[in-house]
Amino acid sequence: MTDIEDTPPGLNATQKEDLNRLRRLAKTMDSAYRLPIIGTRIGWDAILGLIPGVGDALALAPSFYIIAKAHGMGAPSGLLLRMGANTAIDLAIGAIPLLGDIFDIAWKSKLRNLALLEKHLGQRPG
């Protein structure tokens, strides 16, 4: 799902806008730029992770925002826990120098969490 036309049915206008805002944020953080030659996409999460000590902590704020918005959109506690686990894995492994930076490029926790939320919203009765 990439734009408002692909938004699951049964959402009001505010929820559709929130979901689109979360999509833009997740893409910016996890896949905003394409690396030349290898073609892999990276985002600000991987770039911030290069800053020792504070980079991974800074990348937590968008993760928490996505989880908080998911809660506000009615995500059940099990889904929120899974999203929190994705974020915790990103933080724990992402904090390892060099290995963590490579992991951030592959893991893309914000896009994973967005996909979980979109799946939940798509399965919700209209």
12-57 pLDDT per residue, tens: 788 889 999 999 999 999 999 999 998 999 999 989 888 887 888 8
| Predicted pLDDT at 71 | 96
Average pLDDT, the chain: 88
The percent of residues above 90 in pLDDT, for the chain, comes to: 59
- Contact call for residues 20 and 3 (beta carbons, < 8 A): yes
Q: Measured in Å, how far apart are the chain's first and last C-alpha atoms?
A: 17
pLDDT of residue 2: 46
φ and ψ at residue 107, rounded to 5 degrees: -75, -45
pLDDT in tens, 101-126: 889 899 999 999 999 999 998 865 55
Q: Of residues 2 and 43, which shows the higher confidence score? A: 43
Q: Which helix (H) or strand (E) holds 74?
A: none
Its pTM stands at 0.86
